[in-house]
Structure 1
Amino acid sequence: MIGLVQRVKQAAVEIDQLPVCAIGRGILLFLAIEKGDNEKNGDLLIEKVLNCRIFSDQSGKMNLSLLDIRGELLIVPEFTLAGKIAKGKRPSFDMAAPAEVAKKLFDYVSGQIENKYKAVKKGYFGADMSVYLINDGPVTFWLKC
C-alpha cells in the first residue's frame, strides 16, 4: 500500500468540472493499493497518516500531527502510484491490485479513518478526477506500508 502524503493549505476534487469535495488546511492523501495488500497494511497507513508530525509548532519545527492541529483530510484513490517505468517509456501497472480488490481496501481505509476522525473527505474510486491543491511548504512524504 502506497500513500503519498501532501501537507496542503487547501485541496479539492472535481469530476466532470463539478465540485465533489474540498478541504482547508490539512493532508491530501493519494492512496494506491498493490497486489498482496490487506487490512493490516491499511491500519498501519492510517496510524501513520493521522499521527505523523508534519505540521509546524510555534517554534517552526515539524512537531504537530493532523490530529493536533484539527486539520482536514482528503483521500484520493490513485492507482498510478503503483506504476513502474523500468523498461521502455510506457508505465507498467503489474503491481497494482485488481480494481475490485483495490476498491474494497480503499473503502476499508477510508471507512476506518472516518471512524477515527470526522474531518475526512474522499474522491471517487475509478473516476476521472481533477485534483487541485495548494501545497504547504511544499511538504510531501511517500509512505509504503
Structure 2
Amino acid sequence: MKAIIQRVAKASVTVGEEQISSIGRGICVLLGISVEDTQKDMEYMVRKILNLRLFEDENGKHWCKSVMDKQYEILLVSQFTLQCVLKGNKPDFHLAMGAEQSETFYNGLLQHIRKAYKPELVKDGKFGAYMQVHIQNDGPVTIELESPTGPSDPKQKNYNAPSSFAVGCKAG
C-alpha cells in the first residue's frame, strides 16, 4: 500500500459539479492499494496516518504533533494510480488491486481510521469516481508512505533505503 500524505490548510473533493467532501486544517491522504496488501498493511498504514507528526506543538516546535494530537481533520482519497509501474513512458497498473476487492479493502481501512479516531473528522472521496481533489498544501509538506510488504514486482527498484534526512526523527 502506498500513501501520499499532505499537510493541508484545507482540501475538498468534487464529483461532477457536486462537492462531496471538504476539510479544514489537517491531512489529505491519497491511497493506492496493491494486489499484495493484507490486514497487516492496513493496520500499519492506519497507525502511521494517525500518528505521523506533521504539526507544531503549542510552543511552535515543529514536527511534534499528529493529526490526532491536534484534533484536525483527515480527507482520504482512493488513488489506484499510486500503484503505477512505468513501461517506458506508459503507466501500467498490474500491481493495483482490482476495483471490487480494493473497494472493500479501502472501506475497511476508512472504517478502521474512523474507529481509531473521531468519525466526524474523517472524510473521504467517492471510490471509483472521476474526482477533482482540491488541496491547499500547508508548508508545503508532503510525505510518501509505503507499507512494509509493498509490491514485489522484480522490475521495481527498492527506494526505501534509510535516508540521512531522517536523523533525529523517531519512528512511530
Alignment TM class, shorter chain as reference: over 0.9
Identity of aligned residues (%): 38
CA deviation digits over 1:87-115, x for unaligned, max 9? 32110001101111111110010011111
TM-score (norm 2): 0.81
Deviates more, 1:106-115 or 1:55-64: 55-64
Matched ranges for 1:30-69 at <5 A = 30-57=30-57, 58-69=59-70
SS class of match (1:55) = coil
* In 2: Cα distance, 1:59 partner to 1:122 partner: 29
Partner of 1:105: 105
* In 1: Cα distance, 2:101 partner to 2:145 partner: 20
Partner of 1:77: 78
* In 2: Cα distance, 1:45 partner to 1:95 partner: 18
How far off its partner does 1:60 sit? 3.4
Q: Which amino acid aligns with 1:123?
A: G
Check if 1:141 corresponds to 2:147. Answer: no
**Over 4 Å off, 4+ runs:** none
* In 2: Cα distance, 1:75 partner to 1:61 partner: 24
Check if 1:128 corresponds to 2:130. Answer: yes
How far off its partner does 1:29 sit? 0.4
Q: Which amino acid aligns with 1:120?
A: V
Q: Which amino acid aligns with 1:15?
A: V
* In 2: Cα distance, 1:91 partner to 1:31 partner: 17
Q: Is the contact between residue 3 and residue 29 of structure 1 (CA under 8 Å) also seen in structure 2?
A: yes
CA deviation digits over 1:66-99, x for unaligned, max 9? 01110000000000000121x3211000110111
Q: Which amino acid aligns with 2:48?
A: K
What are the ranges of 5 or more consecutive residues in structure 1 without an aligned counterpart?
A: none
CA RMSD of aligned residues (A): 0.9
Q: Is the contact between residue 39 and residue 108 of structure 1 (CA under 8 Å) also seen in structure 2?
A: no
Give 1 or 2 for the bigger CA radius of gyration: 2
TM-score (norm 1): 0.96
Q: Which has the higher strand share?
A: 1
SS class of match (2:68) = helix
* In 1: Cα distance, 2:81 partner to 2:47 partner: 23
